[in-house]
Amino acid sequence: MRTLLGRSRRAFLAVVGSAALALGGAVALPGTAQAANILPDPGFESGLSPWSCTGNLGSVVSSPVNGGSKALQGAVSSSDTAQCSQSVPVQPNTTYQLSGWVRGSYVYLGVNGGASTWTTSPSAYSRLSVSFTTGASQTSATVYVHGWYAQGSYYADDFSLDGPGGGGGTDTQAPTAPTGLTSTGKTSTSVSLAWNAATDNVGVSAYDVYSGASRVASVSGTSATVSGLSPATGYTFTVKARDAAGNTSAASNAVAVTTDPGSGGGTTGFKQAAPYLYEGWGDPPNPATVMNATGIKWFTMAFVLDSGGCTPAWDGSRPLTGGADQTAINQIRAAGGDIVPSFGGWSGSKLGANCSSAGALAGALQKVIDAYSLKAIDMDIENSDEFENEAVQARILTALKTVKADNPGLRTIVTFGTATTGPTYYGNRLIEQAQSLGADIDVFTIMPFDFGGGSDMYGNTVNAAEALKAKLKSTFGWDDATAYAHMGISGMNGLSDQQENTTPAIFTQIRDWANSHHIARLAFWAVNRDRPCAGGGVVDNCSGIGQDNWQFTSINAGFTG
């Protein structure tokens, strides 16, 4: 049920559970008293290599881990299980034990052409173990771990394959160098590459993609997409082939690519002052009246929900077109402004949670885009059905990636809660999944309120925003300016549900900070409440404090980025 203010959120603590894949056990060999782990870098402490992951969906993270300081994260999508594997030399007619610790929904462990096992342990570690016996002439085995379609990321750490190492002579022959490396596509933050296969006497197990001297991807096939790049920046890529013995080829031909200028970065960035306007409660004001009084041009219209069967409607009940919401939009556009619809929110039946797939969700978003010829859309990802559900997070991000590709120039915004110290566990997961999926989100907007942060709403807002910047930098490899240009702040005017008080003076400070750091977006909840009622408490049609009519909207209109 929607709370009185419509966007009440629980305070989130950045509680991060450990998660990983640890593989350990003993080999069942007659006459063998002890076995050894023959997998290189089983705990990912040295990076992803020699593991290779389908779809470039594997990455090394520092949290959650099972042991040491690193672990594998497989960012499963609706079309890829994020399988990560490596090949190692083994002895024929020999039994090996593969085991490990995993966390996630439907995580599988196995060996190509042999045994496998699986578990579902979304919030706690679970140990997997399986044994297999090599064939009479088998000298190499490929072990793997993967998740399941649209089930959210899994984590893996501390692999172990116990048994004797490969014998019968050591392979020292390196693969041939890959040829024909070319760029097959690019965005502001990613480059797609393809090349011709290399050859090897025992077979190529992986291809490592390099940007300069840094390895940026490892895949099993002959194509890869490198994400997390900076807009309008030149990169030079090469590819090397690697076999199961660790022999590495010479580099392929080099290809130079400059990423697109992009949306939300650099001097061509997307800037939007767009407070929320809600036709569902709170004595909705005439938007033209507010625009004339304040100079505001954009509004974030809340909320598009599911009316059943993955069908978009305003609040899940008002018609998508022809109702009060379209009337307000027509008035805004007639006055020279525009709108960005917000999908989701705290309560109600949400498209992200209820559409059966990323494709179905993209179709629902497209209906709204087509109905209003939109320039931008906002996904307000909250509560346990969307924000705290990693599979739904991935579904939303994949759908946003789809509609952005289908609608050139469309800007995509994700809005989510925060702690005073920055993104929570699920906020960090959202950002990490956006990077892994190559979703190319334009603006990551935090909502710095209802976090039980005490009285310093300016300080808490800035602290949360700076922590968001740091997370974007570490995840995408951006500099400060690029990270700020992909950030937004959406506060609450006057009293929040938890009685936090953002006064006009404090909101002015926040706006000035946003301008001086050139962030992309500033908003607040909501124009409906931008009226005085000192001592009125937390209500839907006024701020609960003394102020002038539309004072917060006037302040918001001064945001230029």
Task: Give catalytic residues, as residue numbers.
Answer: 382
Instruction: Kindly give the interhelix angle for 504-516 and 457-476, rounded to the nearest 10 degrees.
Output: 30
249/188 Cα distance (integer angstroms): 30
559/449 Cα distance (integer angstroms): 19
- Is the previous residue joined to 287 through a cis bond, with omega within 30 degrees of 0? no
The sign of the dihedral angle between the CA atoms of 59, 64, 67, 69 is positive
Whether residue 193 contacts residue 208, with contact meaning beta carbons closer than 8 Å, is answered with no
561/272 Cα distance (integer angstroms): 8
Mapping DSSP to helix (H, G, I), strand (E, B) and coil, where does residue 147 land?
A: coil
What are the distances in angstroms from CA 416 to CA 191, 200, 440?
28, 49, 17
**Ramachandran area for residue 35 (φ above 0: left; ψ -120 to 50: alpha; else beta):** beta
What are the distances in angstroms from CA 251 to CA 190, 222, 345?
21, 14, 49
Q: Please state the φ and ψ torsions of residue 161, each to the nearest 5 degrees.
A: -120, 105
Mapping DSSP to helix (H, G, I), strand (E, B) and coil, where does residue 337 land?
A: coil
CA angle 7, 488, 452 (to 5 degrees): 45
CA atoms in the 13 A half-sphere facing the CB of 464: 32
* Best CA proximity match to 11, nearest among 421, 489, 513: 421
Amino acid at 309: G
Whether residue 496 contacts residue 524, with contact meaning beta carbons closer than 8 Å, is answered with no
333/294 Cα distance (integer angstroms): 16
The sign of the dihedral angle between the CA atoms of 47, 52, 54, 56 is positive
Q: Please state the φ and ψ torsions of residue 362, each to the nearest 5 degrees.
A: -60, -40
Annotate 373-416 with three-state secondary structure.
Answer: CCCEEEEEECHHHHHCCHHHHHHHHHHHHHHHHHCCCCEEEEEE
Q: Please state the φ and ψ torsions of residue 244, each to the nearest 5 degrees.
A: -65, -25
Of all helices (H) and strands (E), which one includes residue 96? strand 95-111
486/242 Cα distance (integer angstroms): 37
Whether residue 57 contacts residue 398, with contact meaning beta carbons closer than 8 Å, is answered with no
231/188 Cα distance (integer angstroms): 4
Amino acid at 389: N
Rg (CA), the chain: 26
* Best CA proximity match to 115, nearest among 94, 105, 129: 129
